[in-house]
Amino acid sequence: MFEVLQEPGSPNPLPRGAKRQRTLERPVSLSGVGVHSNVPARMTLNPAQANTGIVFAPCNAPPFAALWTNVVDTTLRTALGDGGARVGTVEHLLSACAGLGIDNLRVEIDGPELPAFDGSAAAFVEAIDEAGCMDLPASRRTLKVLHPVRVQHNGCFAEFLPAEQDLTLDIEIDFAAPVIGRQRRIFAIDSGTFRRELSRARSFGFLRDLAPLQARGLGLGASLENTVALLEDAVLNSEGLRFPDECVRHKMLDALGDLALAGAPIIGLFRSYRSGHALNVAAVRALLSDASAFRLESIGAPSPV
Ligand SMILES: [Zn+2]
């Protein structure tokens, strides 16, 4: 059931088990409107040195790392902050970085939330391709799962299990509404699989939930341009779905972004049932709070200076 896809002609091929840390070759800028805030933002993805990690640099505030310790909100999106500054809806960019093997990046942003674009990670993949990727003279560090770690809440769960190599996602969702129903996918994540199977899967939501959400100040920028809008048994977007199981694929995209908050690529199996940002982040927190559950490993020797 695992799918391992080749990546013919990809501008940024990433071999499995790539050993060197990566960043962009040059800066690239994007702008758009946030799905929750409806506020426009311009962001620039800048190359960063080895061992920087992914860092957000909001206007007029100190930069902070994209780490689980800086999560400030997981309601329908993952928001990061450190003291005063906050940046919302980071998960699709982090997913693109994890999927394409970008370890180091400095993200300048002049608004409170990353732009939604089409609700998927496609715009970030395009931007990264436009900027190009380069290896850095430092070995990549990975985080290997050593024993199972599980979090659960109200019949939903998320767990890490050991695996020999790579990160495999096994994600299941279960909605009463027949338009989604029960969907499960399993993918071993490499850049080809990410591009082809996950990066274009869009955010989704039920039309019935929109007004209550907006009353809470969320979903203010939601539209058919950035969200798959659902009735109980129908898709409202005229173009329909990009995959018959686009919803679970988007949940996989989200999970990959949330797991990137561990700060290093995870080697293991991540399984979840009806999980979301809160449970994904709780699983990362549980894993990294148990020193016996993981080991940091260097998978390539640094090149001589
Ligand atoms: Zn999402």
Give 161-182 pLDDT, tens digit per residue.
999 889 999 999 999 999 999 9
Give the pLDDT band of residue 300 (cuts 50, 70, 90).
Answer: low
Beta-strand ranges (E) seen in 155-279 are: 156-161, 167-174, 182-189, 204-206, 228-231, 234-235, 266-273
Question: Residue 302 pLDDT > 80, yes or no?
Answer: no
Amino acid identity of residue 225, one-letter, is E
Residue 17: pLDDT band (50, 70, 90) is low
Residue 296: helix, strand or coil by DSSP? strand
CA of 173 to the centre of ligand 1 (A): 14
Q: Distance between alpha carbon 301 and the CA centroid of its chain, in Å? A: 27
CA dihedral (70, 76, 244, 259) in degrees, to 10, reads 10
The structure's pTM equals 0.92
Please compute Rg for the chain using Cα positions.
18
What pLDDT is recorded for position 199? 98
Per-residue pLDDT, 6: 33
Mean pLDDT of 139-155: 97
Burial 126-158 (b: 16+ CB within 10 A, else e): ebbeebebebbebbbbbbbbbeebebeeeebbb
Helices (H), 163-304: 191-193, 207-215, 246-259, 277-288
Distance 137 CA to ligand 1 centre (A): 33
Give the C-alpha distances (Å, rounded to integers) separating 253 from 3, 163, 198, 234, 276. 16, 20, 6, 23, 11
CATH 3.30.1700.10 assigned to 20-298: yes
**Distance of CA 305 from the midpoint of ligand 1 (Å):** 40
CB atoms within 10 A of CB 78: 28
Please give the positions annotated as active site. 277
Instruction: Provide the residue ranges of all domains of the chain, joining segments of one domain with +.
Output: 20-298
Amino acid symbol at 30: L
Does the pLDDT at position 15 exceed 50?
A: no
- The pLDDT > 90 percentage for the chain reads 88
**57-90 pLDDT per residue, tens:** 999 899 999 999 999 999 989 999 988 789 999 9
What average pLDDT score do residues 227-253 get? 98
**pLDDT tier at 12, thresholds 50, 70, 90:** very low
Distance, CA 228 to ligand 1 centroid (Å)?
11
Q: Which amino acid is at 189?
A: I
Confidence of residue 251 (pLDDT cuts 50, 70, 90): very high
Output the CA 211–ligand 1 centroid distance in Å: 19
30-56 pLDDT per residue, tens: 999 999 999 999 999 999 999 999 999
C-alpha 204 – ligand 1 centre gap (Å) = 8
The pLDDT value recorded for residue 128 is 98
Cα–ligand 1 centroid distance for 73 (angstroms): 14
pLDDT at 84: 76
State which residues have CB under 5 angstroms from ligand 1, the bound ion: 203, 254
Average of per-residue pLDDT across 234-238: 98
